[in-house]
Amino acid sequence: MDSSATLSVIIPTLDEAADIEAQLGGLQALRDHGIEIVVVDGGSQDDTFALAAPLASLVISSAAGRARQMNVGAQASRGNVLLFLHADTRLPDGAVDRIQQALADGCQWGRFDVRLEGRHPMLKVIALAMNLRSRLTGIATGDQALFTTRQAFEAIGGFPEQPLMEDIEISKRLKRLSRPACVRPCVVSSARRWERHGLWSTMLQMWHLRYRYWRGIDSRQLAEEYRHAR
């Protein structure tokens, strides 16, 4: 990655008023150094949009859907490197330097290792399994803060606008362009989903969904089943 390359951080949100100020507050040092922070809200019914506005470079509205929101954010952003960050995931210190080094080494995209923030001891095992699986398969999850050059992102047509498994699908497409960079140290992602629905049931459900997607089941059908289960 050229030293003159600019980075845009794109954050899709939906009803994140409880946490969005803390998330964006943690990114202000990057913003002060010229990193663009783009929040794309998918129609929140709370104060997410208003709370984000003074803490982001740009806050825009979009139809709901994480893939669609991230595509809208990429289109509106100015950076030639794009980092897609969940609203409940925090970057490690030195993240920008790590991305620069990864892209300078010949990769066109990559992701971070992840650590799940919570009390349950199994969360460490789950995160370890996620990171190992990602290294073996070259597939990133959204929790791992995927990043890509704009050139690569546009070459593969951005995120497929599907309601589930968009992270798997874009990884498969980006792998045709280059191997992914697997970056340490870890981003820290909230374990709220795991803790709310139960660790074992959530893990089994995600494995089941991924297996069925691999078998060719349409993502819209899987998304409907996922919503029903939740």
pLDDT of residue 151: 97
Q: Over the stretch 139-195, which tens digit does the pLDDT of each residue have?
A: 999 999 999 999 999 999 999 999 889 999 999 999 999 999 999 999 999 987 777
Reported confidence tier of residue 119, pLDDT bands at 50, 70, 90: confident
User: DSSP string spanning 61-74?
Assistant: E--S-HHHHHHHHH
For the segment 26-34, the average pLDDT, to the nearest whole number, is 96
Task: Please report the pLDDT score of residue 208 as a whole number.
Answer: 78
**CA–CA separation, 209 and 204 (whole Å):** 9
Cβ atoms of residues 75 and 139 within 8 Å: no
The alpha carbon of 192 is separated from its chain's Cα centroid by a whole number of angstroms, namely 16
Q: Which CATH superfamily is domain 7-193 in?
A: Spore Coat Polysaccharide Biosynthesis Protein SpsA; Chain A (3.90.550.10)
What percent of the chain lies above the pLDDT cut of 70? 95
Instruction: Give the model's confidence band at 61: pLDDT under 50 very low, under 70 low, under 90 confident, else very high.
Output: very high
Global confidence as pTM: 0.91
- pLDDT recorded at residue 192: 79
Strand partners, 110: 147, 181
Which 3-state string (H, E, C) describes 120-135? CCHHHHHHHHHHHHHH
Q: Judge contact between 96 and 3, C-beta under 8 A.
A: no
Sketch the domain layout of the chain as residue ranges.
7-193
Scan for tokens 């289960």, then name that residue. 229
Average pLDDT over residues 214-227: 77
Q: What's the token pair of residue 108?
A: 């066109």
Q: How far is residue 30 CA from its own chain's centroid?
A: 17
Backbone angles phi, psi at 59, to 5 degrees: -125, 125
pLDDT of residue 228: 47
